[in-house]
Amino acid sequence: MDSSAWVEWAAEYTKAAQAESRPPAEWAARVASAAAAAAAAGERGDVPWSAGLAGMLARTLVSAGGGGGAPAAAWKFAEAALAERLASPALLLALLSSRVIPHRFVRPTAYRLYLELLRRHGFNFCFQMKAANFRKIMQLIDDNLGLSKIFGFSTCEPGVFVVEFSLCMLWQLVDVALDDEGLLELTPDKKAQWPTRSEDVSAFDGSFSEQTEKIEKLQKLNNVITIELIGHLLHDKVITHILSLAHENMKTQWAAFSNRLRLLITNSSTLQTSTIALEVFQQLNIDDCNIFRENKHWLHKKLHPIVASNPLSYPNGRCLGASYSALWIPIDMYLEDCLDGSIAATNSIEILSGLVKALQAVNRATWHDALLALWIASLRLVQREREPIEGPVPHLDTRLCMLLCITTLAIADIIEEADLELNSNWKEKRASDDLRKELMLSLQTLGDYESLLVPPPCIISAANQAASKAAMFVSGINVSSGYMENVNDRTTNYTGNMWHLIVESCISRNLLETSVYYWPGYINGHVNSITHALPSQLAGWSSFMNGAPLTQSLVNMLGATPAS
């Protein structure tokens, strides 16, 4: 692994900080300062989320062991580095998993601290995926864990990597729990997918300072904590969304994993004697390799009428109905979770854009299908407000905000990221331009989903005004001249829907140009009608305001035309 000068300095400073018992916050501040200086000097490729710092910390933690005193400080430094986004959590945990797990019997404290780091930082991918060195990190993790070889998918795509890494981390815990209770012999392979034992104790320097009795107690406690962490992760909504992708796209590997999980639940004596762990696992229902039946059953009940009547089109033109639409249900689930407060609403734009990219990669879909699925999921969110469940529910304006703001900004985030990453190469720039074309195609297709596009009563006027704006533009009227203030349902015959509002939202964020107003079917009336009606109506009020005599004809015109 490459080691830059600032990482070498960080390694020396970490040793000194341990010896002097410096606070983790002070250590993190000094390392962050060195990282900033390195970035200013041109080492931007590895700052922040440094791969080099993650490798250094992994070596430090392994060599330090897991006892008290200075070694314990090293783990606190690692926690501070991850919390401050100085080192890559995914890479650090991948390196530790292959070095700490096999030696957990002789260094149980190190394994216990590894579990805590995994719980806190193991599945926070949002900001990591935006790092300039993320592709390098993915490759280093693949080299260490062999993800692409085991799962059969290349890790060059961030979305695929997230699915493989998440399943790997969970799979390792399941194998550890089975190994601790001697249950690996009951698996078809009779061994763990990743090493869980090692006879080479030299990987940890130093003597065994922990007493035998204390080690045995820690081992038993670690077994319980491992099982409880498995249950916690399987109930985390974001992780179950990720695992649903593995279930849909990695059938063979998922079958092997779920078989081991079922074996653990059925035969684990620790699970049966631990009240907390047992309660967690009793809520799971592993049905034909499906550990998220409850979430999917609830969502399918709410979405089935819309999914069945509005199937997505497959890239080759075939229409696969609800079975194909089910590939995109994690989007619906995430949007609902944002509303009911199940997950933090902060960073929802980045999380949603990351989820769409992951689904697009794992489902091997075109961007046309991925973006269309996102629009449809957001429209479903608005439609479900019309039949609210019992109890307090978010108001309609919140759901409209998710559609017209969060969804649009998530797409803008995807395109902006493509522009930033691919701007240096004209071929890649062309790929970025193609992404905008895919957005246009997805919106053109969206116009055919009439039942989803019916606007709620409170925004019918706004939808009609959006349609009228397009008609005025096509007719040659300057929309910025003040005419839009006089456009209302009585002066025009243009009927708008959610399609027009979505398009206007995209135009306002420079995702589309006004040429979309010329799309076939976008304007549903005769363009000439507005050129005849609106100017004459405006002329009547304009004449009156300029002091024209109040003739009978002018009175009739003013009476027929509202003033606003």
Q: What tens digit of pLDDT does each residue of 225-254 get?
A: 999 899 889 888 788 888 888 888 888 999
The total of structural domains in the chain comes to 4
Instruction: Enumerate long-range contacts of 434-440, CB under 8 Å, 24 or more apart.
Output: 434/367, 435/367, 436/511, 438/366, 438/367, 438/368, 438/371, 439/367, 439/371, 439/411, 439/415, 439/506, 439/511, 439/512, 440/512, 440/516
Residues 177 and 130 in one domain: no
Per-residue pLDDT, averaged over 316-335, amounts to 61
Would you tell me how many other CB atoms lie within 10 Å of the CB of residue 54?
Answer: 30
Q: Is residue 202 part of a domain?
A: no
Residues 11 and 83 in one domain: yes
pLDDT of residue 554: 64
Residues 307 and 338 in one domain: yes
pLDDT of residue 39: 76
Q: What percent of the chain has pLDDT over 70?
A: 70
Give the C-alpha separation, 150 to 158, whole Å.
17
Residues 137 and 152 in one domain: no
CA 354 to chain centre: 4
pLDDT of residue 328: 85
pLDDT of residue 348: 85
Contact 411, 439 (CB under 8 A): yes
Q: Is residue 315 part of a domain?
A: yes
DSSP output for 259-286? HHHHHHHHH-HHHHH-HHHHHHHHT---
Residues 444 and 360 in one domain: yes
Residue 270 is encoded by which pair of tokens?
Answer: 């620790």
Give the C-alpha separation, 359 to 355, whole Å.
6
pLDDT of residue 292: 47
More confident: 266 or 502: 502
Report which listed range, 262-276, 351-365, 421-435, 508-522, is most confident.
508-522
Contact 335, 378 (CB under 8 A): yes
Residues 436 and 346 in one domain: yes
Domain boundary among 289, 304, 321: 289
pLDDT for residue 207 is more than 50: no
Question: Omega before 315 cis (within 30°)?
Answer: no
User: Does this model's pTM top 0.85?
Assistant: no
Instruction: Enumerate long-range contacts of 417-426, CB under 8 Å, 24 or more apart.
Output: 417/130, 417/353
Contact 354, 155 (CB under 8 A): no
Residues 432 and 333 in one domain: yes
| pLDDT range class, residue 284, cuts 50, 70, 90 | low
Q: Is residue 505 part of a domain?
A: yes
Give the C-alpha separation, 276 to 285, whole Å.
17
- Single out the residue of 401, 429, 526, 513 nearest to residue 468, CA to CA: 526
Residues 173 and 245 in one domain: yes
Residues 340 and 228 in one domain: no
Provide the terminal-to-terminal Cα distance of the chain, rounded to the nearest Å. 69
pLDDT of residue 69: 39
| pLDDT range class, residue 562, cuts 50, 70, 90 | low
Dihedral (Cα; 154, 157, 160, 162), 10-degree rounding: 120
pLDDT of residue 131: 80
More confident: 531 or 465: 465
Q: Is residue 201 part of a domain?
A: no
Contact 156, 110 (CB under 8 A): no
Specify the range with the lowest mean pLDDT, choosing from 43-47, 190-194, 551-555: 43-47
Give the C-alpha separation, 286 to 268, whole Å.
16
Categorise residue 534: left if φ over 0, alpha if ψ from -120 to 50, beta otherwise.
alpha
CA 419 to chain centre: 19
Residues in Cβ contact with 54 at an 8 Å cutoff, skipping those fewer than 6 apart: 81, 87, 88, 89, 91, 92, 95
Q: What is the pLDDT of residues 355-365, one digit of tens each?
A: 898 888 877 78
pLDDT of residue 473: 83
Residues 232 and 92 in one domain: no
More confident: 296 or 488: 488
- 538 three-state secondary structure: helix
Per-residue pLDDT, averaged over 140-151, amounts to 94
Q: What is the pLDDT of residues 383-423, one digit of tens each?
A: 887 655 544 555 788 899 999 999 999 999 999 888 776 65
Q: Is residue 474 part of a domain?
A: yes
Residues 229 and 105 in one domain: no
pLDDT for residue 455 is more than 60: yes
Give the C-alpha separation, 169 to 114, whole Å.
12
pLDDT of residue 299: 43
Give the C-alpha separation, 332 to 280, whole Å.
25
pLDDT of residue 276: 66
Contact 454, 310 (CB under 8 A): no
Residues 401 and 263 in one domain: no
Q: Is residue 206 part of a domain?
A: no
pLDDT for residue 484 is more than 60: no
Q: Which element (helix H / strand E) includes 72?
A: helix 70-83
16, with CB counted inside 10 A (0-12, 13-18, 19+), is exposed
Residue 285 is encoded by which pair of tokens?
Answer: 């229902």
pLDDT for residue 198 is more than 70: yes
pLDDT for residue 66 is more than 50: no
- Single out the residue of 403, 373, 398, 375 nearest to residue 388, CA to CA: 398
Q: For 290, what's the count of Cα atoms within 13 Å in the CB-facing half-sphere?
A: 9
pLDDT of residue 332: 87
Kindly report the average pLDDT of the chain as a whole number. Answer: 78
Domain boundary among 289, 319, 336: 289
Q: Is residue 284 part of a domain?
A: yes
Q: Is residue 496 part of a domain?
A: yes
| pLDDT range class, residue 481, cuts 50, 70, 90 | very low
Domain boundary among 453, 480, 512: 453
Per-residue pLDDT, averaged over 33-56, amounts to 80
Q: Could you list the residue range(s) of the whole structural domain that residue 268 is in?
A: 146-182+190-195+211-289
- Single out the residue of 83, 77, 80 nearest to residue 64, CA to CA: 77
- 342 three-state secondary structure: coil
